[in-house]
Amino acid sequence: MKLSGGFSIGQFIPGESYIHSLDPRCKIIGAFILFAAPFIAKSPYDFIPIAFALAAITRLARIKLGTVLRSGRPVVFLVALTIVLNVFWTPGRELARLGPLSITEEGVTLAFCVGLRLYFLVMLAALLMMTTSPMAFAGGLESILSPLAALKFPVSEMAMMMTIALRFIPTFFEETDKILKAQISRGADFESGGIIKRARAFIPVLVPLFVLVFARAENLAIAMESRGYVPGVPRSRLNPLVWAARETTSILCVIVFIIFTVLWNRYAPELISLWLGLL
């Protein structure tokens, strides 16, 4: 049993690609604009340009497509649940019947769209985190949210908290794995019985994990303080944020893509029908 296997949300993959080298603010803003694309998709066809865009960005980032596709694993259960709920509970033209439940055409379309929407959102977020180091991400977010500092919102502290949280994701899973193995070696059984029995079996994992996390948090706070960190005090940067022409160009490309997807969503079904008719 390995909890951390394949989990990659938030795991930065160091690289020297064009996407890696973009200013983090550009990547965050770009990602948020791109997040709109799956939401404006209304039919399965509408996801075709999004898939192409995702593949293109993955290629530009020099990351394996498989790695990005696998990043959706943690939400597979959620996606499956959403699909099931939508397939059976959406009213419309009935395609088939399973006892009291009916499968409708609208339900199938909606389930497909909602599932793909979730999956694409996770992959886009993962791609952002894979190409942006937590420190750069926090720096970018801090800069974007800096106007909130005028309202006494602790922007830099929040950014530092995020950096540390992201930095500790692999460590956290490593530690969980170690505790799991230690408990298994002492006879704990996490794989048999019902949901309640399994959930109860995790208590001996959660207790030492919480103790460990709190101890680690305290030690880290001491180490940060000893290296001169003072919450809320401005810091300089090894890699200052630089917004150049290529960042503007990248954002423009994303905006053009969103306009294209809107047009695609409007005209693609007719164009595809026409094309299929011609064939």
Residues in contact with another protein by the rule CB under 8 A? 12-14, 16, 133-136, 163-164, 166-167, 170-171, 216, 219-220, 222-230, 233-240
Contact 93, 110 (CB under 8 A): no
Nearer to another protein, 51 or 165 (CB): 165
Contacts of 192 (CB under 8 A, 6+ apart): 198
Nearer to another protein, 24 or 115 (CB): 24
Contact 168, 209 (CB under 8 A): no
Minimum distance of another protein from residue 134's CB (angstroms):
5
Nearer to another protein, 182 or 223 (CB): 223
- Alpha carbon separation from 58 to 123, 236, 250 (Å, rounded): 10, 31, 15
Containing H/E element for 156?
helix 155-185
Minimum distance of another protein from residue 50's CB (angstroms):
28
CA 105 – CA 133 distance, rounded (Å): 43
Minimum distance of another protein from residue 146's CB (angstroms):
17
Nearer to another protein, 49 or 134 (CB): 134
Minimum distance of another protein from residue 164's CB (angstroms):
7
Q: What's 96's DSSP letter?
A: E
Nearer to another protein, 30 or 134 (CB): 134
- The residue ranges of DSSP E strands in 155-243, in sequence order, are none
Containing H/E element for 225?
helix 203-226
Minimum distance of another protein from residue 189's CB (angstroms):
29
Enter the tokens of residue 229.
């960190």
